[in-house]
Amino acid sequence: METKITNGIRISVRPFYQPKFSVPLLMKYVFSYKVFIENQSPVPVQLLQRHWFILDSTGDQQEVSGDGVIGKQPVLQPGTRYQYSSWSQMHSEIGLMHGYYTMRDLHNKKNFKVIIPAFQLIPAFKLN
């Protein structure tokens, strides 16, 4: 699991290869990932937007951005944690994702970026 703390917000990501949904002969490789967001700051925050960079070993690059995560813009009180799962499809079995969330400090009403750590997308059988 990859972890990064930015402005008191801890982001951890754990990826999983999904062979059931992947079709290697068609260059379709599906990965899911679970994200854990923990507010270690002394103020409540709200996740407003996400921005992902997705790269695979063929050189294909994608950018994905939008409001919230999985249709939600969660509020995290100090000391609380939020988690969600999502997925991504690539054209090769090896890739990398990273990005950032735009969050709002609900105390001073200012937005700030929280880094999503880079994590590798590699099926376990490629590591042996």
> For residue 68, what is the domain's CATH number?
2.60.40.1470
Q: Look-up: residue for tokens 């063929």?
A: 58
- Domain range enclosing 88: 2-122
Full pLDDT tens readout for the chain, 128 residues = 899 999 999 999 999 999 999 999 999 999 999 999 999 999 999 999 999 999 999 998 999 999 999 999 999 999 999 999 999 999 999 999 999 999 999 999 999 999 999 999 998 877 76
14 C-beta neighbours (distance < 10 Å), count: 15
With contact defined as beta carbons under 8 Å apart, do 37 and 46 qualify?
no
Calculate Rg over the CA atoms of the chain: 16
Task: Please list, residue by residue across 31-54, b when 16 or more beta carbons sit within 10 angstroms of its beta carbon and e when fewer do.
Answer: bebebebbbebeeebebebbebbb
Q: 127 in a domain, yes or no?
A: no
Q: 103 in a domain, yes or no?
A: yes
Q: Look-up: residue for tokens 């854990």?
A: 36
Q: 128 in a domain, yes or no?
A: no
Q: 45 in a domain, yes or no?
A: yes
